[in-house]
Structure 1
Amino acid sequence: MKNFILIFLIIFVIVACEEEKNNGFDTEEKSIEYVLEKSPMIDKNLKQVRQVNLDSLSITLFRNSKKVDYDEVLVFQKNNQFYAIPFLSNMYFDYWEFRNETQLQLYAKTNTTFEQQFKDVVRELKLKPDEVRLLFDELMLSILHTETNLHFKPQILENFVYSTERVDKYKIEESEVCIARTKRIFEEIKKDSQKIRRYEKYFLDSENGRVYQLITTSHLSGKFSFQIKIYRIDCFSYPLNI
Structure 2
Amino acid sequence: MKQLKTIVVIPARLASTRLPNKILADIGGHPMLWHIYQRCLQASKVSEVHIATDAEKVVEAVQNWGGKVWMTDTNCASGTERIVSILDNLDCDIIINVQGDQPLIEPTLINQLIEIFEKKKPMPDIVTPACPIDNEKIFDPNLVKITRRHDGYALYFSRNPIPYVRDVKTENWPQTTPFLGHIGIYGYQRQVLETYHSLPKSPLEEAEKLEQLRFLQAGKSIFTFVTSNYPSSVDTAADLERVRARIVSSSNNK
Query: Normalised by the size of structure 1, how large is the TM-score?
Result: 0.31
The higher radius of gyration belongs to: 1
Greater RCO, CA 8 A, separation 6+: 2
